[in-house]
Amino acid sequence: MRCHSVAGTTSPSAVATYATLREIEDRLKSIRNIEKITNTMKIVASTKLTRAQRAMTESRKYGETSNEVFEAAETKPLEGEGKKQLIVVCSSDKGLCGGIHSSLSRYIRRTTPDGPPFDLVILGEKCKAQLGRTNGQNIVLSFAGIGKDVPTFADAQAIADQITQLSGDYSDVKILYNKFINAQSYEAAIIEAFNEEAIAASANFSAFEVDDEVLANLREYSLANSLYWALAEGHACEQSARRNAMDNASKNAGDMISKYQILFNRTRQAVITGELVEIITGATASEDM
């Protein structure tokens, strides 16, 4: 007659508990790694936000100066029958920044159906992908490589040069961008960029003594000023939104780590308790034999 020790065998429930414990441990390790990544991205975004805000302040001087000239000249968009509007959407190529790009796309979808016919110029791949599904037929020009670094006036000038070469006859040009309100909020806003006809038709235009041959240069330069303003402000909004998104992700990861740590401790305690019960049961059975 052979006697098998009960303590030497492992019950199916104990094996399942061991597997669960390993799964929880792996999940904890994965979440901790994610938390490290999101914390690092938050620090990087915070550093970039400081630079972006500095560039935004400088760019506003360009845009506001152009606006002051047109306000003094009483420049207004022309109301041309059958002419299209040109809307320039300032987004970027990068994600992980909340709904900052989708807010611009929603603005287009919400406001354009009841407005005049329009064409789109898209700066950045994010809004191009979003609007391409619903307004692909309206996109006449797009730019990639936006948002890799702080925008410069040279970048805006190159974009303005391409826009002025478009063959369409547009009544007015609107620049759609994210306006920086504070480090926690932003909103979609419009900057008016006037064409040559609108500038020439200004009520007080003659007071500036601008020759006809420099009118095209004035239009392109003012467009570049406005684009620089919009791109720099949108970049600051993007970095702020990315920092906030990574901060929220880090907090969520911390909450998950706390919950899984409690679950891990309880499961581990259950494993230890189960092993003790098996040992005691096995010892009792051996004494009875």
Q: Which fold has domain 48-203+210-241?
A: Pyruvate Kinase; Chain: A, domain 1 (3.40.1380)
Sheet strands (E) in the chain: 84-90, 118-123, 139-143, 170-182, 185-193
Tell me how far apart the alpha carbons of residues 170 and 194 are, in angstroms, rounded to a whole number: 10
pLDDT of residue 22: 87
- Closest by Cα among 287, 100, 82 to 177: 100
Which residues, including other chains, have CB under 8 Å from residue 131's CB and lie 6 or more apart?
Answer: 89, 105, 108, 120, 122, 138, 139
Tell me how far apart the alpha carbons of residues 163 and 76 are, in angstroms, rounded to a whole number: 20
Dihedral angle, C-alpha 278, 282, 288, 289, nearest 10 °: 150
Q: How many CB atoms lie within 10 A of CB 282?
A: 16
Tens of pLDDT, residue by residue, the chain (289 residues): 334 433 444 555 555 666 688 889 999 999 999 999 999 999 999 999 999 999 999 998 888 888 888 888 888 887 766 688 999 999 999 998 988 999 999 999 999 988 889 999 999 999 999 999 999 999 999 999 888 889 999 999 999 999 999 987 888 899 999 999 998 899 999 999 988 888 888 888 766 677 777 788 888 899 999 999 999 999 999 999 999 999 999 999 999 999 999 999 988 888 888 878 878 887 676 666 6
CA distances from 214 to 130, 156, 166, 228, 273 (A): 38, 19, 19, 21, 87
- C-alpha 59, offset from chain centre: 20
Q: How many CB atoms lie within 10 A of CB 152?
A: 14
Q: Note the pTM of the prediction, 2 decimals.
A: 0.82
CA distances from 105 to 77, 93, 132, 199 (A): 23, 14, 10, 29
**Domain map (residue ranges) of the chain:** 48-203+210-241
The DSSP call for residue 84 is E
pLDDT of residue 230: 95
Structure tokens at 88: 């320039």
Tell me how far apart the alpha carbons of residues 278 and 286 are, in angstroms, rounded to a whole number: 12
pLDDT of residue 17: 65
